[in-house]
Amino acid sequence: MKKNQPLAQQQSPADALIIGAGFAGLGTAIRLQQQGIRNITILERSDDVGGTWRDNQYPGAACDIPSNLYSFSFAQNPNWSRSFSGSREILEYIHHLVNHFNLRQYIRFNQNVSNLAWDQDKGLWQATTTNGDVFSGRTAVMAQGPLSNPGWPGIAGLDEFKGKKIHSAAWDHDYDLKGKRIAVIGTGASAIQIVPELAKCAGKLTVFQRTPPWIMPRPDFTTPDWNKTLFRKAPVSQTAVRKALYLAHESMALAVIWNSPLTRFAERLGRWHLRKQVPDRWLRRQLTPDYRLGCKRILVSNDYYPALQKPNTKLITWPIDRISENGIRTVEGIEHQFDCIVFATGFEVSNAGTPFPITGIGGRSLNEEWKRGAQAYKSINVSGYPNLFFTFGPNSGPGHNSALVYMESQMDYIVRSIRTIQSLKLKALDVRQSSQDDHNREIQSRLAKTNWNSGCQSWYLTEDGFNATMYPGFATQYAKQMSKLELKDYRLLAAEAESETV
Amino acid sequence: MAKIDLDKMLEKIKDTQWSLSDVDWDAPGAELITPEQWPKLKAFMADLMWIEHVGARAFAAMAKKAPDDTLRQIYTYFHAEEQRHANAEMALMKRWGMLEDGELPEPNNNLRLVIEWLDRFADDQPVYVLGTVVPMLEIALDGALCKFLLDTVDDPVCHQAFELINGDEARHLGVGFSVMEMQGHGKTYIELIRMTAQLMDPRLILGIASYFPLLNKMRDNIVEMGLPEEKLYEAMRKFEKIGGRTGDGRRNPWFQIIKHHGRFVVDRKKRFYHAPIDALVKVADVIPRKAFPEVPSWVKEITYQPTA
């Protein structure tokens, strides 16, 4: 089922039209299937499943949440080879999910959605893809991923460089890096994983840093065989470990999200890690963050600092002036010349707009409404866009715990809502604007007290400093928020009648 | 109030960048340096280059302490730009055959003390202190030295390089004086109390102990190279004139201190000042090189090569 489906099949509306076959899209399909909802269409822009973990296969790519927590609670994997798995193993897990739950039947590959519009008369969402195909669904699930499109930096002369350009999220595995003069721009989550790997093979490696991240030690180890056997034979033991990891991460919220004595403690731990690994005073100064821990994403690594001190590696903290034909010009007046520039510059964040036009009731445009910062009700619904659900919608981002924990709460909310739509025979389930506003007022007042809003610049914030990304609380609080479908917060439109039923 | 819009200034800084490869360091003209000039010029350029380099380190400290993000970015650029000046001056030295391949000129002992102080204590200093001392150093030393250089050296490449350098310096001074005025705005009394406390800080006293002799040492060097010391004093008076052009500027207590200190420096008759400071210069001169700890690694970041 690789290419276009027969028209008849496309025209029959799905109960759930899911955009994206990554963790969120596939997980939602599994949960729907388990509830007996099988009329599902998943639109995937690529020719394979996996989303983030399919795209991010750069050298050293791995998850910085332990695998026992970065997996679905309803599909635990006893065979993780390490405490923090690499991207390839996570992708294998996703493939396993697809096969085990027989999800391939739902997926339409190479269908890149370019437009999503609500047809009020029919009560259907219509997704048009770049192929010109149209798919419809009584409900639609945005599972395209919050970080799925490579973000390129706004550096002058980006197109002038004559050497090789590689983005971390679209790695070119055919390009031989051995002995090359390589630049890495960026020192975020991807960069600190790439740099140690490149330092092993590059002739010369130069890392360009704008802001140093907080880096914590990474308790990574190979899973012993007895552990795998134990998890296989007594799954309850894995559930217990998962619970313990969950609680350990929950406690980190106290350091990460809010400014507390634990924040100071974590900062001391970060500085201790730096001091232990970097003897040179000036290099240590360059690598010491000057913003409060938690304001930007906290990273974990044991081999990043040592890699920077290898004889073939150099850290540059001078501001970049421009990219030239042969390399990168920095403000200290030197042109650093390279064969290859690696852009570990993250992703386009849709915290102010939508990845493609989404049109709701009466032709309203979500892109327009979100221009000054995205807002939703409980991160999942937006008023005026009935039967549309967002995974990792506005203010659902975790800073301290597994994204998959949050995702499971969202998936269950979606399944509950779709079952409600079906059982009450609703044409439209549309959240009330007032409920959405109340929710956002509360979220924003809580966010004001968090480290994310403490003054640094990060991708969590829009250009105006509006935080449309993070959830200000424990994962447990978020799960509680998502545990109940409060019908009083919605306008319900019956399938047969044009009037509101509630 | 601030006379310049710092956001606009930051944009301007970003728009007026240049790099060493914009200059043809092999263009004709190097032969215009006379054999008499050569040895003096070598010592002079080494000092100048080191002053730029320590200025760079001071801006790095200021970037850490900047009161807002715009100023933090500006100081980050200035840090790199001062480094660029040191690099360009080293490229001139290389052009004039004053450096072996890979050679780094030796800093004099007074500069060595300043480097040591900056490395250890600059990051802990309040932004007000460096924010006032740095414009003084720039206007007095940088300004006077550059002028002297352009008056005596005919090499067109030198003139081309210093045109670029002076363009940057004008912005550095513009921001420097503007920040001094911001700091003087309506809080004199509190600042005075705070400053008195800061003056008691032994780290600052050590800083003063390295800054004062540096000025006298530079004066001696200038005299030795045949520049009338009056030119240095003219430049220092400019600090007083520009820094004190507004009420806010004059209310900045650090400006007052540096200004009064400048008056001492330019008046050789003030023996109570010059006798001990000149003695300190002499003491510094006889400190054996090996008595200094190893130079911090930022010192080795300078290069005369336009590409890396």
Q: How confident is the model at residue B193 (pLDDT cuts 50, 70, 90)?
A: low
Residue B20 lies in a domain: no
Q: How confident is the model at residue A379 (pLDDT cuts 50, 70, 90)?
A: very high
The answer to whether the CB atoms of B306 and A333 lie below 8 A apart is yes
CATH of the domain at B231: 1.10.620
Q: How confident is the model at residue B279 (pLDDT cuts 50, 70, 90)?
A: confident
Whole-number pLDDT of residue A243: 95
Please give the residue of chain A at the shortest CA–CA distance from B308: A336
Six-digit token string for B141? 């030393």
The answer to whether the CB atoms of B77 and A322 lie below 8 A apart is no
Whole-number pLDDT of residue A7: 41
Whole-number pLDDT of residue B189: 55
Whole-number pLDDT of residue B133: 82
Residue with the larger pLDDT of the pair A137 and B50: A137
Residue B123 contacts residue A285 (beta carbons within 8 Å): yes
Flag whether residue A211 sits within 8 Å of chain B, measured between CB atoms.
no
Q: Whose CA is closest to A169, among A84, A57, A277, A29?
A: A57
Residues of chain A in contact with residue B73, where contact means CB-CB under 8 angstroms, are 319
Whole-number pLDDT of residue B47: 84
Q: How confident is the model at residue B290 (pLDDT cuts 50, 70, 90)?
A: confident
Residue with the larger pLDDT of the pair A56 and A353: A56
- How does A40-69 read in b/e, with b if 16+ C-beta sit within 10 Å? bbbbbbbeebbbbbbbbbbbbbbbbbbbbb
Q: How many domains does chain B have?
A: 1
Kindly tell me if the per-residue pLDDT of A206 is higher than 50: yes
Q: Give me the residue from A280, A332, A336 closest to B83, CB to CB.
A: A332
The answer to whether the CB atoms of B20 and A318 lie below 8 A apart is no
Flag whether residue A321 sits within 8 Å of chain B, measured between CB atoms.
yes
Q: pLDDT digits over A470-502, tens only?
A: 999 999 999 999 999 999 999 999 887 555 544
Q: How confident is the model at residue A4 (pLDDT cuts 50, 70, 90)?
A: very low
Residue with the larger pLDDT of the pair B208 and A478: A478
Residue B26 lies in a domain: no
Please give the residue of chain A at the shortest CA–CA distance from B120: A281
Flag whether residue A281 sits within 8 Å of chain B, measured between CB atoms.
yes
CA Rg value for chain B: 19
In a 3-state reduction of DSSP, which class is residue A272?
helix
Q: How confident is the model at residue B261 (pLDDT cuts 50, 70, 90)?
A: confident
Residue B236 contacts residue B137 (beta carbons within 8 Å): no
The stretch A159-182 carries a mean pLDDT of 96
Six-digit token string for A468? 């449309």
The answer to whether the CB atoms of A326 and B307 lie below 8 A apart is yes
Q: Give me the residue from B20, B123, B297 closest to A334, CB to CB.
A: B20
Residue B28 lies in a domain: no
Residues of chain A in contact with residue B296, where contact means CB-CB under 8 angstroms, are 281-282
Residue with the larger pLDDT of the pair B225 and A380: A380
Least confident of A172-181, A277-286, B263-272: B263-272
Least confident of A308-322, B49-63, B188-202, B267-281: B188-202
Please give the residue of chain A at the shortest CA–CA distance from B65: A290
For residue B164, how many C-alpha atoms fall within 13 Å in the half-sphere facing its CB?
23
Q: Give me the residue from A322, A326, A332 closest to B80, CB to CB.
A: A332
Residue A145 contacts residue A392 (beta carbons within 8 Å): yes
Domain that holds residue B38: 6-12+34-301
The answer to whether the CB atoms of B81 and A331 lie below 8 A apart is yes
Kindly tell me if the per-residue pLDDT of A6 is higher than 50: no
Kindly tell me if the per-residue pLDDT of B117 is higher than 90: no
Domains of chain A: 7-149+349-494 (3.50.50.60), 150-214+268-346 (3.50.50.60)
Whole-number pLDDT of residue B258: 81
Please give the residue of chain B at the shortest CA–CA distance from A204: B308
From the candidates A278, A324, A332, A337, which should be mutated to test the interface with B, based on the most B CB atoms within 10 A?
A: A332
Flag whether residue A335 sits within 8 Å of chain B, measured between CB atoms.
yes
Mean pLDDT rounded to a whole number for chain B: 83
Least confident of A221-230, A430-439, A467-476, B193-202: B193-202
Whole-number pLDDT of residue A3: 43
Residues of chain B in contact with residue A280, where contact means CB-CB under 8 angstroms, are 297
Residue B27 lies in a domain: no
CA distance A187 to A313: 14
Residue B1 lies in a domain: no
The 3-state secondary structure of chain B, one letter per residue = CCCCCHHHHHHHHHHCCCCHHHCCCCCCCHHHCCCCHHHHHHHHHHHHHHHHHHHHHHHHHHHHHCCCHHHHHHHHHHHHHHHHHHHHHHHHHHHCCCCCCCCCCCCCHHHHHHHHHHHHHHHHCCHHHHHHHHHHHHHHHHHHHHHHHHHHCCCHHHHHHHHHHHHHHHHHHHHHHHHHHHHHCCCHHHHHHHHHHHHCCHHHHHHHHHHHHHHHHHHHHHHHCCCCHHHHHHHHHHHHHHHCCCHHHHHCHHHHHHHHHHHHHHCCCCHHHHHHHHHHHHHHHHCCHHHCCCCCHHHHHCCCCCEC
For residue A154, how many C-alpha atoms fall within 13 Å in the half-sphere facing its CB?
2
For residue A222, how many C-alpha atoms fall within 13 Å in the half-sphere facing its CB?
2
The answer to whether the CB atoms of B297 and A321 lie below 8 A apart is no
The answer to whether the CB atoms of B80 and A318 lie below 8 A apart is yes
CA distance B306 to chain A (A): 5
Flag whether residue A326 sits within 8 Å of chain B, measured between CB atoms.
yes
Residue B23 lies in a domain: no
The stretch A338-351 carries a mean pLDDT of 88
In B, what residues contact A, Cβ < 8 A?
A: 14, 17-21, 64, 69, 73, 76-77, 80-81, 83-84, 87-88, 119, 123, 296-298, 301, 303, 305-308
CA distance B307 to chain A (A): 5
Q: pLDDT digits over A37-79, tens only?
A: 999 999 999 999 999 999 999 999 999 999 999 999 999 999 9
Q: Give me the residue from B17, B64, B308 closest to A321, CB to CB.
A: B17
Six-digit token string for A283? 């290099």
The stretch B64-73 carries a mean pLDDT of 89
Q: pLDDT digits over B133-180, tens only?
A: 888 888 776 677 777 788 888 999 999 999 999 899 889 988 988 888
Residue B249 lies in a domain: yes
Kindly tell me if the per-residue pLDDT of A321 is higher than 90: yes
Q: How confident is the model at residue B190 (pLDDT cuts 50, 70, 90)?
A: low
CA distance A60 to chain B (A): 27
Kindly tell me if the per-residue pLDDT of B2 is higher than 90: no
Kindly tell me if the per-residue pLDDT of A388 is higher than 70: yes
